[in-house]
Structure 1
């Protein structure tokens, strides 16, 4: 998905911008989805693609959410 840099800054939060546009990451074990247990689908904040289902989430002890499969063949 192509957008001008200023468009990304308007669409994304500062944290999302840092992660998605500047290759940033949060420190391990600090993200809001590490211990998230609700059923649902994880969606890209930039393009709204469905990436992962909560049904495939597992505890990898890495400090970040981990999934054993993508949502669909087109997801990732």
Structure 2
């Protein structure tokens, strides 16, 4: 069992993206607003592995789920 505490930085690193605050903010700005009718994992900007990770995190209510939900909210803001 992975008992580590996850952060937005570690989520971005898990997705293979830059995990520094500036790059995370730039990613969010570049990709929002994500339309309500598109699931986060189905957004066109993810590759297949990233999309699968996000979908699995939510479906399995994994320890990443809260951060995935937080990212989803951030990407839906105008």
Q: Same fold by TM (over 0.5)?
A: no
| TM, length-normalised to structure 2 | 0.29
Higher relative contact order (CA 8 A, sep 6+): 2
Name the structure where strand makes up a greater proportion of residues. 1
Instruction: Kindly name which structure, 1 or 2, has the bigger radius of gyration based on alpha carbons.
Output: 1
Larger % of helix: which? 2
